[in-house]
């Protein structure tokens, strides 16, 4: 299966949520579930425990996301909107396409794309990643706009030159590691009476 199919499922889920004025707030690999059915594979979005209703005007405030997937605007005083989910999905896109994480620091600039895998991506793949990871949330594309991007309609499927199985394995390993850290943390906080 090609990375475009996985990302299309994620953006469809986000578009649905955003159309219903729901901000997921924690789009990360452990909250993605690869479902296998008789029709093939699909990605399901899980982990809605921190989701909130999108507010008009000032936006939402409070904690949001996981470090490494957190959008820059979450640190601003003006609040955040659905763009936080799009930014996090951009981190996942970058990871699936390159096998690494985008180098993002709270510098007031767009993330730098310096990984080895970045150089071999198609122009459509690079353009999508850049538009998803734009620092200024007012300039970032929406989930619906991402679904209309040329990356999803490129018949030659040149969006990825990094082996998908390695990228998916990397996400699976990240998920296992985070789950182990959670189990370890939970076992360290248990008390026996």
85-111, pLDDT tens digit by residue? 999 999 999 888 888 888 655 555 556
Residue 128's pLDDT is what?
Answer: 94
Predicted pLDDT at 115: 72
Residue 33 φ/ψ region, left for φ over 0, alpha for ψ in the -120 to 50 degree band, beta for the rest: beta
pLDDT tens profile 121-157: 888 999 999 999 998 889 999 999 999 999 988 654 4
Angle, helix 83-98 to helix 123-132, in steps of 10 degrees: 150
Position 20 scores a pLDDT of 93
CA distance 117 to 93: 12
Question: pLDDT of 153-175, one tens digit each?
Answer: 865 444 444 444 545 555 555 55
Give the integer Cα–Cα distance in Å for 166 and 143. 25
- Tens of pLDDT, residue by residue over 50-97, are 898 887 666 787 777 788 888 888 877 677 899 999 999 999 998 888
Distance CA 171, CA 160 (A): 16
Residue ranges covered by each domain of the chain: 3-188
The fold of 3-188 is Transferase(Phosphotransferase); domain 1 (1.10.510)
Q: Where are the beta strands (DSSP E) in 8-123?
A: 22-23, 32-37, 40-45, 52-53
């Amino acid at each position: 299966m090609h990375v475009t199919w996985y990302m299309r499922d994620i953006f469809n889920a986000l578009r649905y949520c955003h159309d219903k004025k729901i901000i997921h707030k924690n789009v990360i690999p452990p909250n993605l579930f690869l479902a296998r059915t008789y029709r093939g594979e699909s990605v399901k979005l899980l982990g809605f425990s921190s989701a909130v209703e999108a507010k008009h005007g000032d936006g939402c405030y409070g904690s949001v996301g996981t470090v490494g997937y957190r959008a820059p605007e979450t640190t601003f005083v003006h609040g955040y909107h659905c763009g936080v989910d799009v930014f996090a999905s951009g981190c996942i896109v970058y990871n699936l396409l390159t096998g690494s994480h985008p180098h993002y620091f709270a510098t007031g600039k767009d993330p730098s794309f310096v990984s080895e895998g970045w150089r071999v991506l198609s122009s459509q793949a690079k353009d999508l990643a850049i538009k998803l990871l734009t620092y200024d949330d007012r300039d970032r594309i929406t989930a619906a706009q991402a679904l209309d991007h040329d990356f999803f309609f490129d018949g030659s499927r040149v969006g990825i030159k990094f082996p998908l199985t390695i990228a998916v394995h990397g996400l699976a390993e990240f998920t296992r590691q985070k789950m182990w850290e959670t189990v370890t943390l939970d076992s360290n906080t248990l008390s026996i009476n």
